[in-house]
Structure 1
Amino acid sequence: MDSDDDYNKPTHTQHHGETEEIDLDEKFPNRPRNQSPTLPFHVLFQTLFNPLSEIKKKPAGTARRKVGQSGGASLNPVERRREVIDRFISRWRKEVGDDIYPAFRLILPDKDRDRAMYGIKEKVIGKLLIKIMKIDKNSEDGLNLLNWKLPGQAAASSMAGDFAGRCYTVISKRPMRTEPGNMTIEEVNERLDQLSAAPKEEQQLTILTEFYRRMNPEELTWLIRIILRQMKVGATERTFFDVWHPDAENLYSISSSLRRVCWELHDPNIRLEAEDRGITLMQCFQPQLAQFQMHSLERMIGRMRPTEDDPVFWIEEKLDGERMQLHMDSDASVPGGRTFRFWSRKAKDYTYLYGNGIHDEHGALTRYLKDAFADGVESLILDGEMITWDTEQDAIAPFGTLKTAALSEQRNPYSSSSRPLFRVFDILYLNGRDLTRYTLRDRRNALQKSIKPAHHRLEIHPYEEATGTSEVEESLRKVVAEASEGLVLKNPRSPYRLNERHDDWMKVKPEYMTEFGESLDLVIIGGYYGSGHRGGGLASFLCGLRADDAHSSQGGTTTKFYSFCRVGGGFTAADYANVRHHTDGKWHEWNPRKPPTSYIELAGGDAQHERPDMWIKPEDSVVLCVKASSVSASDMFRIGLTLRFPRFKRLRGDKDWKSALSVQEFLDLKANAEQERKEKEFNVDSSRKKRMKRTTKKPLTIAGYDADAEAQYAIPSGHIFEGLNFYIMTDSVTPVRKSKAELEQLVKANGGKFYQTNSAAPDMICVADRRTVKAASLQKNGTVDIIRPSWILDCIKQSEIDVGMPDLLLPLEPRHTFYATQDRQEQIAESIDQFNDSYARNTTIDELRNILEEMSKNHHFDKPSCPEAIRKLNEHIQEKVNSGWELPIGWLFKGLTFVFPQSERLDDTDLEGSTQISRQHRLHSAGNTARFAGAHVVDSSKSSSVTHIVVAPDASASEISPIRKSWSRKAPQKLPHLVTVDWIEQSWEQRTLLDEEGFQPPKGA
């Protein structure tokens, strides 16, 4: 096997022909050879890119197999993608040869680290195309290319945000050729190598001119996507790798080299040796990534599989820097005796910046690491985050300052006010041994013994041990107070998983936590155009605060808004449509030379920080309810403050610009919030003393309030009742007992307001569970509905379950109604079915038992005896799914046939009894889930229709091997898919069929 240094050297020179071929032969004598020239470039998009893009656009089930293939069953998108890729690879091997690297460089341009970055983005390409096609830059097409995010004219308007699509619209009007050109894939690669090395615009213009002359508009469109490394054809590199070779993904994970994947694994029948499957010193690998938070903290912690014997998980602060891996090796031939290499998460080599040795004069970091390693450490690989440390503030500097700090450190060592700091949180290799298979706890022990931290240069990242959510919430309060990025929860019992997101590492960011930050009502004063699927419309908005004390030049006052924050997250398509509906025709293009200072004031004076693409008068605008994690200082916005992680919550149709938040009101809110936080900290600290001092004599209460009730009563918090007013008249009797004060605190904690009279606020919700004088008086009035406290409790409970729709109120049911008017009763009756089962609320076990008992007593059900009706129902469901409806959960595995071979053999393995029982329980449970979701579960003997073989995730090689052999004999033409039980469980949980590639048994099994 060739050394990694050889693989990292450029393979293309400025010369061509025999010299370059000899050079390649010397460096890579075992590389595969092609017997024929490479395919034409247009074959790539005609047979690969376009078909994959069509599969991405069409919903599953729209394509059918040809007659005679599996009985006409529909192909799922995964199979269709694999078929397209397999056809292309087979054609290449047949017509060209085994060296597919030239094609993969264009298919996966973002994974090819052997070609340097081009240094040109959309605007530069637009300028070059204008020169090549001799277009007036002020013409319609010229403006469409230069302002590609803005809506264009005619056909170009639909391409807003899609630069390549916008280029196609312009080029197709003036093509040099209409039919596909004759450039081969190898020629395109040669020109792209030249483009990446072109130092000036003149050379770039010459190369792009040749492309324009030899390609038709569609070819040029795909070429531009390759240059921008924005393919988005609907298939990931994992799919291409899996079709190419069974070990391709593993080799890429440990090497980050597309060339090695193509050249070392050209024969799918030759597998990687065991010693070649682990990470290697001085060879860039793909790091493990943290999973996004998708659940409550309780579920996140549960997914880390804690046990009674070891319930601990770790909490680390999430650093806002650049992920980096450091490789160190002993080398007696170099000064200092050590060599270093640095790579980023994207496999970019940063050794030139941080240094290759102890005495590297250009190294911003390594010159300080002479004594950073313990005696006996000869070689290691460290994983961590490179951040900037501000020595004057004695704190971490904001994101985006890292490269500047490193260059400053290179020029002025020891005297720079900011410096790169490498915070290490993992060690993966030590003295020739791969540590990725060891647990995180063992790796951290090895790290502590191997590193001697260099103060504010190389440090071990700290962590805290925790066992529950309270520690996470306390850590989140700290990171919010310090304006930090967030947290990462880690499972100390887990191995290191290369190139994978897994539940063993999970991010927790402050914006996900409901108890932090305020909901603020802000006016939209500007808009920014989006790109991609948000192209052509305003995708994010500049929001402002009202400055009522601004004085006009004519005397008196005029209302002006100061820029405050930019909001782009949390919007649905319906939200965007709602904003457009209320502001259509009222937007104005921002003119930097004549800014609308009478209405809007930005930060930075003439610099106009956060300048929007469009602006709108405040009186013509709308008010947004915005949620944020905290307030932070920023000179990019007019008042010097902004929101951290702002997210849109809802449109405030009941408010206008006059009633939205002003600068002074916001400053008052901020001051009050800080005071409340201090008081809360004091109350928490003194709560134990208060409880100890309490005597048996109950203190005096006034109007149903207990002075200590709010501090002592732990209640769920959220925003489900935001904007609602409550008049609570009695305690809760059923289903649980809660006092009037407890109910009022529940309402307040979830965003609502409560009052002590019915007429104190409009649209009052009256609540009672007993016929008191007040309740009887309202009922006698006959115009007011009275609901039971159970509705409040059910809404809160359902919001905790439906994490994707936490602010959705439940409709009223008869069980929630104490008294309702006649019209209201009819409406309430529609929220349940004929068996009193709720359409919107999760039914409890007791309720479900009562419903089933009632059904069995009073209703008779015939078994389904009409296959035609069932067929029509299936067709109807499929039509709805094809038109964009979400697949009903009961049809999730429709048309699939599963077999669980391991569930039939309890004694074939040497697993311990408890482990075997746990495995059998999971397999049995998954079988029930599959049946409920429409699958057919059969015995292994009925093999003719089986589509999936399901095994335990911990299945060993001795278990899997006989299964594969047995099924190979039964179905030699097309083997069923072999997946672990995780695929069924996670597909059910996410309500969609997941890609099976990530749920296959280990390759060695």
Structure 2
Amino acid sequence: MDADPEMCDGQEESDLEEKYPNRPRNHSDTLPFHDLFQTLFRPLSEIKKKPAGPPGNRRKAGPHGQSAASLNPFERRRDVIDRFISRWRKEVGDDIYPAFRLILPDKDRDRAMYGMKEKMIGKVLVKIMKIDKNSEDGFNLLNWKLPGQAAASSMVGDFAGRCYDVLSKRPIRTEVGSMLIEEVNEKLDQLSTASKEEHQLPILAEFYRRMNPEELMWLIRIILRQMKVGATERTFFDVWHPDAESLYSISSSLRRVCWELHDPNIRLDAEERGVSLMQCFQPQLAQFQMQSLDRMIGRMKPTEDDPVFWIEEKLDGERMQLHMLSDASTPGGRKFRFWSRKAKDYTYLYGDGVYDEAGSLTRHLEDAFADGVDNLILDGEMITWNTEQDAPEPFGTLKTAALSEQRNPFSKGIHPLLRIFDILYLNGRDLTRYTLRDRRNALQKVIKPIHRRFEIHSFEEATSKTEVEASLRRVVAEASEGLVLKNPRSPYRLNERHDDWMKVKPEYMTEFGESLDLIVIGGYYGSGHRGGNLSSFMCGLRIDDGHSSQGSHPTKCYSFCKVGGGFTAADYANIRHITDGKWIEFNPKKPPTAYIELAGGDAQYERPDMWIKPEDSVVLCVKAASVSVSDQFKMGLTLRFPRFKRLRMDKDWKSALSVQEFLNLKSSVEQEHRAKEFNVENFRKKRVKRSTKKPLAIAGYDENANVKYAGPSGHIFDGLNFFVLTDANAPIKKSKAELESLVKANGGKFYQTNNAAPDTICIADRRTVKAASLQKAGNIDIIRPSWILDCIRQNEIDAGLPDLLLPFEPRHMFFATEGKEEEAAVTMDKYNDSYTRDSTVEELQDLLKQMGGSHKEDKLASSEALEKLTENIQERAGAGWTMPSGWLFKGLTLHFPQTSGSGSSSEASPSETTSRIHSVRNIARFAGATVVDSLKGSSITHVVVGPQTTASVAANLHQTLSTRKKLPHIVTIAWIEESWKEKTILDEEPIQQVLTSTTPFQA
């Protein structure tokens, strides 16, 4: 039954009364909504449009005081805000929270996200106004980034402005409406809980009926949380109360700022200015980097006595704060809360307690804290960890990893990992005023890391830019995010970007990366101040002969990357001047395949708004940190952190970079980076020597090849050809050379290319350039090295039996072609236990944990599935396949009657007979049969008689059963014993002699 909304509202109001007993109360209704834009938004926007003069540029005050026009822009903004707040206090009261929710919608954490972006709002407005989506106005709403035929130039790239342009042609109201701010908030609360279009449409329709076009324009900006009125929240907070910004930094609560600081004369106490347990705060952020490393290091404020600064790797995850409180009422004794940098509560994903079944992280934290730790607040980065690769995954996989971990908490794959780099609160004490070095010392003492679940982020000490360059070279080679430099002598600064923390990203450093001359083949319209113009560009690589799938075209290109950073106004002007009149609107139904090839075929994963023939285009010099795999571009590769450097006026499309030139260049850059990384690591990692005279040497054919023996030998891989691309990461590390020697020792041949021999099996554990190229081709399965190791291990277990080549399992597939994944999936049960391979101790432990944590309804298979599986096994048994012992009598229901020993000529004693029957009953149960004690059941399939049963007894038994529609078979215990011995169900025909014999049947 759904909860009564009025009861829920009443409970919420009661909770607020308890939490804020001194909250302010308004004495009058709130102001009309139109007062917000007439007296606040519109004046602030007008000030924003005018250029700001120097702060001290004001005229002297006249005899009657200083006019607003004489103030500089900053003071004029404050004056507008101050007048609005003063009016509110006078006409409404001290509770300004209803207004601030609309003025600063992006800071309101008490209202859920609406789940509506520009496209959805445009779609709903088209329905409300009943206009054709293919009409000029319909097109303008649904394609708001494109220049509309009749759209005002000032509205281009501004969705709310585009809506105003369309709404003003067909308004229901021309004058401002009468909706109060309080009413607007109530409707927006309803909109935030409406998840479907049919619920959202009537709410927006009411706004349409009761507001004029300008009111609707500002309402849409509120919904999108994109106000941009020219004044930040700091200005509003500062005018409202001197301590408002400080309180928001430690609480992230707009409601608390409005209700606790409604009197400007009452200031926060010192103890109220620090972080609080179970209260989200605004974290410290790293300062944007500078061009000079020397200057950045100088900002770390080194001294002769302490010249050290710290270098941390910048992680590709989500900033996360963890609050932990000892709570005896919570199972496990600890309560947890998680918040992101944007103050979004993620406790539902990561867990609120040690025994929270939905806790993808907290269920692993029972032993993560030292004795005596009662409460703390940690600052860190939540990343996704791939257990099979033992490496992090990209940021976008984090939520998927958490949900996967909730369903299968101990399975292998991906799961969340919290890397902690700071502690801000410990056992009731705020630590933000302590130095980073002191905080890190405390962190080391209170945290007991959980491997690949809950770890302290490492750092290295440095004193010069040489160490920064070495670290940066390493992260570039690893395609990492970059570095963060930190001052160990600094306090923690809430809600600040400060020089104590500085980002170093590889794309800005002139010493690294590679400059590429790329041809522009597409353009994307921008928004905001770039609205109506192409603000970013799709770049391509010229196709050499032999690379085009449709024959070589002299000006054809593969899509390669999208570049939007680094352009100045002059750069845009030059590009517009050169390409004016040559751009063509991109039509997805008729893509320009004669000139441009995009990824995804008809799906066109990444497509531009406009396109241009390469021969009419310009060449851009683009800088990047590294190359990464991507299915969004035709090349299958793209640039990581691409950035525009300059326009190459001296080059045309013929001299732009080609596909083959790029591949050659990339190969040389990778070799150079490997050499640099090798030097930086001081030769700590011994490299394997390889001959370069014959790059395609067939090592498997060379009887004298000096390949180190790496394990057991046999004939498992006889007749198989292998192309090993990478080393093995899991379950154990083995080099490429060791894998090749294992293949050779077990009868296989290995090559250095995939097309040197027929039916070559490609082996890879990492996405190298070669692996990515094969994956892009899409017609070759790529197998993980763990398959080789599993085959060898299984044949060691089954020593003395014929060599067995294991089928591929899902965990063996690095990349699977169409249909191969389904084929691999049938080798595993629902707990990922292999049907063909013995489990390792670790796998068995994981399997038992999964089975123990399963829901009751999942533990028993349905009778239909069991029946189908039984039929499948019996069908295979009929074809000569050995019946599994546990399934031999599956589906049979047996009854053992109490038989008399009279007339017996057997020498067996009654006790021996009873023992034998008891043993046979147990065998039958173990082999899957159901044993019943009564003949009343209609499901009995076999009646099992003892070894001394006479024909007369059997005849009486047969007569008793003759009234049944389906007669059960009468067999002796010898039939069960012999069937068990032969591992198959034997013919029952000879046993029917029991019914005609006049002497006791001797089993």
1:30-109 matches, within 5 Å, as: 30-61=22-53, 67-68=62-63, 74-109=70-105
Tell me, yes or no, if structure 1 residue 110 matches structure 2 residue 106. Answer: yes
Aligned position for 1:288: 284
1:574 corresponds in structure 2 to: 570
CA distance in 1, matches of 2:552, 2:220: 56
**CA distance in structure 1 between the aligned counterparts of 2:552 and 2:151, rounded to whole angstroms:** 49
Counterpart in the other structure of 1:261: 257
TM-score between both structures, scaled by the size of structure 2: 0.65
Distance 1:309 1:558 in 2: 65
Counterpart amino acid of residue 95 in structure 2: D
Task: Please name the residue that 2:858 is paired with.
Answer: none
* Greater Cα shift, 549-558 or 83-92: 549-558
Q: Superposed, which structure 2 residues align to 1:232-631 within 5 Å?
A: 232-550=228-546, 558-631=554-627
Change (3 A) 1:63 1:400: farther
Q: CA deviation at 1:549?
A: 1.5
For residue 510 of structure 1, what is the amino acid of its counterpart? P
Spell out, residue by residue over 1:847-873, the C-alpha distance to the aligned partner (whole angstroms, 9 max, x if none): xxxxxxxxxxxxxxxxxxxxxxxxxxx
- The verdict on how the C-alpha distance between 1:366 and 1:683 changes in structure 2, with shifts beyond 3 A counting, is closer
Distance 1:382 1:514 in 2: 35
Q: 2:544, 2:552 within 8 Å by CA — same for their partners in 1?
A: no
Q: Distance in 2 between matches of 1:601 and 1:125?
A: 33
Alpha-carbon separation, structure 1, partners of 2:371 and 2:648: 64
Describe the shift of the 1:18–1:656 C-alpha distance in structure 2 as closer, same or farther (beyond 3 A): closer
User: 1:396 & 1:269 partners in 2: Cα distance?
Assistant: 51
**Residue type of the partner of 1:337?**
G
Q: C-alpha displacement at 1:398, in angstroms?
A: 1.0
Preserved CA contact (<8 Å) 2:473 2:673: no
SS at match of 1:610: coil
> Structure 1 residues 325, 27: CA separation in 2 closer, same or farther (over 3 Å shift)?
closer
Distance 2:658 2:51 in 1: 47
1:267 deviates by 0.5
The CA deviation at 1:410 is 0.9
Aligned partners of 2:143, 2:195: CA distance in 1, in Å? 25
Corresponding residue pairs, total: 677
With the length of structure 1 as denominator, give the TM-score of the two structures.
0.65
Residue 13 of structure 1 and its aligned partner are, at CA, apart by 5.3
Closer, same or farther: CA 556–633 of 1 in aligned 2, 3 Å: closer
Runs of 5+ unmatched residues, structure 2: 684-1003
In 2: Cα distance, 1:30 partner to 1:143 partner: 52
Q: Which residue of 1 aligns with 2:915?
A: none
The corresponding residue for 1:992 is none
3-state SS of paired residue (1:48): helix
Question: Residue 29 of structure 1 aligns with which residue?
Answer: 21
Contact 2:477 2:674 in 1 (8 A): no
Matching residue's letter, 1:51 = P
Partner of 2:847 in structure 1? Answer: none
Distance 1:674 1:551 in 2: 23
Contact 1:148 1:162 in 2 (8 A): yes
Q: Secondary structure at the match of 2:529?
A: helix
Between the aligned partners of 1:383 and 1:513, the Cα distance in structure 2 is 28
Matched residues in 2 for 1:558 and 1:685: separation?
Answer: 46
Q: Where does 1:171-186 land on structure 2 (aligned, <5 Å)?
A: 171-186=167-182
Shift of 1:574: 1.4
In the TM superposition, residue 649 of structure 1 has moved relative to its aligned partner by: 1.3
Distance 1:605 1:493 in 2: 55
Query: Which structure has the greater CA radius of gyration?
Result: 2
Report deviation, 1:554: 9.3
Q: Is the 8 A contact 1:480 1:630 kept in 2?
A: yes
Query: Aligned pair in 2 of structure 1 residues 33, 468: CA closer, same or farther (>3 Å)?
Result: same
**In structure 2, distance between residues paired with 1:683 and 1:280:** 47
Between the aligned partners of 1:553 and 1:351, the Cα distance in structure 2 is 50
Gaps of 5+ in 1: 1-11, 688-1005
Alignment partner, residue 122 of structure 2: 126
RMSD: 2.3
Q: CA deviation at 1:684?
A: 8.2
Q: CA deviation at 1:134?
A: 0.8
Q: Tell me the distance in 2 between the aligned counterparts of 1:17 and 1:551.
A: 65
Shift of 1:163: 0.3
Cα separation, partners in 2 of 1:685 and 1:96, compared to 1, 3 Å: closer
Are the aligned partners of 1:549 and 1:559 in contact in 2 as well (CA < 8 Å)? no
CA change 1:276–1:679 in 2 (3 A) is closer
Query: Matched residues in 1 for 2:8 and 2:572: separation?
Result: 54
- How many Å apart are 1:263 and its aligned residue? 0.4
> 1:155: how far off?
3.0
Q: Partner residue of 2:638?
A: 642
Matched residue type, 1:180? V
**Structure 1 residues 15 and 620 mapped into 2: Cα distance closer, same or farther (>3 Å)?**
farther
**How many angstroms does 1:640 deviate by?**
2.1
- Residues in 1 aligned to 2:239 and 2:466: alpha-carbon distance in whole angstroms: 46
How far apart are residue 58 of structure 1 and its match?
0.7
Match for residue 214 of structure 1 among 210, 224, 240:
210
Range with greater deviation from structure 2 (459-468 or 67-76): 67-76
- DSSP-derived class of the 1:465 partner: strand
| 1:14 to partner: Cα distance | 5.5
Counterpart in 2 of 1:818?
Answer: none
Which residue identity is paired with 1:259? R
Q: In structure 1, what is the Cα distance between the partners aligned to 2:470 and 2:547?
A: 45
Q: 2:302 & 2:13 partners in 1: Cα distance?
A: 57
Cα distance in 2 for partners of 1:287, 1:457 equals 22
What CA deviation, in whole Å up to 9, does each residue of 1:977-996 have, x standing for no partner?
A: xxxxxxxxxxxxxxxxxxxx
Contact 1:409 1:416 in 2 (8 A): no
Residues 193-232 of structure 1: matches in 2 within 5 Å? Answer: 193-232=189-228
Contact 1:354 / 1:362 at 8 angstroms: preserved in 2?
yes
Provide the residue aligned with 2:946 in structure 1: none
2:623/2:643 contact within 8 Å kept:
yes
**In structure 2, how many angstroms separate the alpha carbons of the residues matched to 1:287 and 1:556?**
54
Structure 1 residues 328, 619: CA separation in 2 closer, same or farther (over 3 Å shift)?
A: same
Instruction: After TM superposition, list the pairs within 5 Å mapping 1:870-881 onto structure 2.
Output: none
Q: Distance in 2 between matches of 1:679 and 1:468?
A: 22
| Cα distance change, pair 557–277 in 1 and its aligned pair in 2 (3 A) | closer
Name which of 621, 638, 656 aligns with 2:652: 656
What is residue 725 of structure 2 aligned with on the other side? none
Residues 260-294 of structure 1 deviation map (CA, whole Å, 9 limit, x = unaligned): 00001100111112221111100000000000013
Identity of matched residues, %: 82
Q: Secondary structure at the match of 1:564?
A: strand
The code of the aligned residue for 1:92 comes to W
